[in-house]
Structure 1
Amino acid sequence: MKAIRLATLLVLIALGMGCANQTDYSRLGDSGAAQEHRLLVTFVDRSINRDLPGNSQDAYRVRGSYGNSSWSEHIAQKLAERYRLQLIAQWPVTELGVNCVVYEVPESLVVNRVIETLRKDKDVGSVQLMQGFRVLAEQVDKQAIYSDPYLPLQSAFNSLSIGEWHKKTTGHGVRIALIDTGVDLNHPDLKGQINYTENMAPEPGDHNLADKHGTAVAGVLSAKPNNGIGIAGIAPEADVMAFRACWPDQPNSLAARCNSFTLALALNQAIRMNSQIINLSLSGPEDPLLKMLIDKALSKGIIVIAAVPGKNQAGGFPADIPGVLAVGQGGETDSNEIVAPGRDILTTVPHEAYDFMSGSSFATPHVAGMAALLLQLRPNWQVADIKQQLHHPETMLGVLQNAPVH
Structure 2
Amino acid sequence: MKLWLRLLALLLCCMASPAQAQAEEAQRQVLVMLQLPKAHYRPDGSYAGTYGEGVGRQSRQQTAQALAQAYKLEMRSEWAMPLAGVDCFVMRLPEGDARTSADAARAVAEDRRVAWAQPVGLYRAEASQQEPLYLAQPAARQWQLAELHKLATGRGVRVAVVDSGVEARHPDLAGQVVFNENFVDDKLPPAEGHGTAIAGVIAARADNGAGIAGVAPEARLLALRACWQAPQEQTLCTGLSLAKALYAAIQQGAHIINMSLGGPDDRLLALLLDQAQARGAMVVAALPRSGGPDQFPASHPGVLVVGSALPLPVGAVLAPGRDVPSTAVGGGWAVVSGSSFAAAHAAGLLALVRELDGRRGTLAMKTALVTAAQGRIDSCATLARHAGTRGVACTGLGQTAD
Q: TM class by shorter-chain length?
A: 0.7 to 0.9
The Cα shift of 1:270 comes to: 1.0
Contact in 2 for aligned 1:377/1:403 (Cα 8 Å) = no
- Are 2:194 and 1:216 aligned? no
- Are 2:395 and 1:395 aligned? no
Structure 2 residue corresponding to 1:42, chosen from 33, 46, 63: 33
Equivalent residue number for residue 129 of structure 1: 119
Q: TM-score, normalised by structure 2?
A: 0.81
Contact in 1 for aligned 2:84/2:272 (Cα 8 Å) = yes
Secondary structure, counterpart of 1:122 in structure 2? coil
- Are 2:170 and 1:182 aligned? no
- Are 2:337 and 1:358 aligned? yes
1:199 counterpart letter in structure 2: N
Unaligned runs of 5+ in 1: 1-25, 61-67
Contact in 1 for aligned 2:282/2:365 (Cα 8 Å) = no
CA–CA distance in structure 2, aligned partners of residues 69 and 330 of structure 1: 49
CA–CA distance in structure 2, aligned partners of residues 102 and 335 of structure 1: 37
- Indicate how the Cα distance of structure 1 residues 52 and 161 shifts in structure 2: closer, same or farther if over 3 A, else same: farther
Secondary structure, counterpart of 2:30 in structure 1? strand
Secondary structure, counterpart of 2:309 in structure 1? coil
The Cα shift of 1:312 comes to: 6.1
Contact in 1 for aligned 2:203/2:220 (Cα 8 Å) = no
- Indicate how the Cα distance of structure 1 residues 100 and 156 shifts in structure 2: closer, same or farther if over 3 A, else same: same
Secondary structure, counterpart of 2:83 in structure 1? coil
Structure 2 residue corresponding to 1:199, chosen from 167, 179, 182: 182
- Indicate how the Cα distance of structure 1 residues 186 and 40 shifts in structure 2: closer, same or farther if over 3 A, else same: same
Q: How many residues align?
A: 362
Contact in 2 for aligned 1:279/1:368 (Cα 8 Å) = yes
1:93-172 correspondence to structure 2 within 5 Å: 93-106=81-94, 107-108=96-97, 110-111=99-100, 114-142=104-132, 153-172=136-155
Equivalent residue number for residue 321 of structure 1: 300
- Between 1:396-405 and 1:363-372, the stretch displaced more is 396-405
CA–CA distance in structure 2, aligned partners of residues 247 and 196 of structure 1: 18
Q: Deviations over 1:289-311 (max 9, x none)?
A: 11111122222232110001233
Q: Deviations over 1:239-264 (max 9, x none)?
A: 211110001114xx642111111111
Contact in 2 for aligned 1:44/1:97 (Cα 8 Å) = yes
Unaligned runs of 5+ in 2: 1-17, 394-402
Larger helix share, 1 or 2: 2
- Indicate how the Cα distance of structure 1 residues 397 and 382 shifts in structure 2: closer, same or farther if over 3 A, else same: closer
1:131 counterpart letter in structure 2: G
Q: Deviations over 1:27-61 (max 9, x none)?
A: 996333x4443211111133889796999x8489x
Q: Deviations over 1:332-378 (max 9, x none)?
A: 55132110000000000111110000000000110011011011111
1:298-337 correspondence to structure 2 within 5 Å: 298-311=277-290, 315-331=294-310, 333-337=312-316
- Are 2:354 and 1:375 aligned? yes
Secondary structure, counterpart of 1:102 in structure 2? strand
Q: Deviations over 1:377-397 (max 9, x none)?
A: 113221235444355626325
1:402 counterpart letter in structure 2: T
- Indicate how the Cα distance of structure 1 residues 185 and 59 shifts in structure 2: closer, same or farther if over 3 A, else same: farther
CA–CA distance in structure 2, aligned partners of residues 193 and 205 of structure 1: 18
CA–CA distance in structure 2, aligned partners of residues 355 and 284 of structure 1: 26
- Between 1:211-220 and 1:195-204, the stretch displaced more is 195-204
- C-alpha RMSD over aligned residues: 3.2
Contact in 2 for aligned 1:194/1:241 (Cα 8 Å) = yes
Equivalent residue number for residue 278 of structure 1: 257
Contact in 2 for aligned 1:308/1:319 (Cα 8 Å) = yes
Secondary structure, counterpart of 1:103 in structure 2? strand
- Indicate how the Cα distance of structure 1 residues 161 and 27 shifts in structure 2: closer, same or farther if over 3 A, else same: closer
- Indicate how the Cα distance of structure 1 residues 405 and 71 shifts in structure 2: closer, same or farther if over 3 A, else same: farther
Identity of aligned residues (%): 34
- Indicate how the Cα distance of structure 1 residues 401 and 344 shifts in structure 2: closer, same or farther if over 3 A, else same: farther
CA–CA distance in structure 2, aligned partners of residues 319 and 286 of structure 1: 10
Structure 1 residue corresponding to 2:213, chosen from 232, 240, 247: 232
2:67 counterpart letter in structure 1: L
- Indicate how the Cα distance of structure 1 residues 194 and 127 shifts in structure 2: closer, same or farther if over 3 A, else same: same
Equivalent residue number for residue 14 of structure 2: none
CA–CA distance in structure 2, aligned partners of residues 45 and 197 of structure 1: 29
Larger radius of gyration: 2
Q: TM-score, normalised by structure 1?
A: 0.80
2:172 counterpart letter in structure 1: D
Contact in 2 for aligned 1:329/1:341 (Cα 8 Å) = yes
Secondary structure, counterpart of 2:216 in structure 1? coil
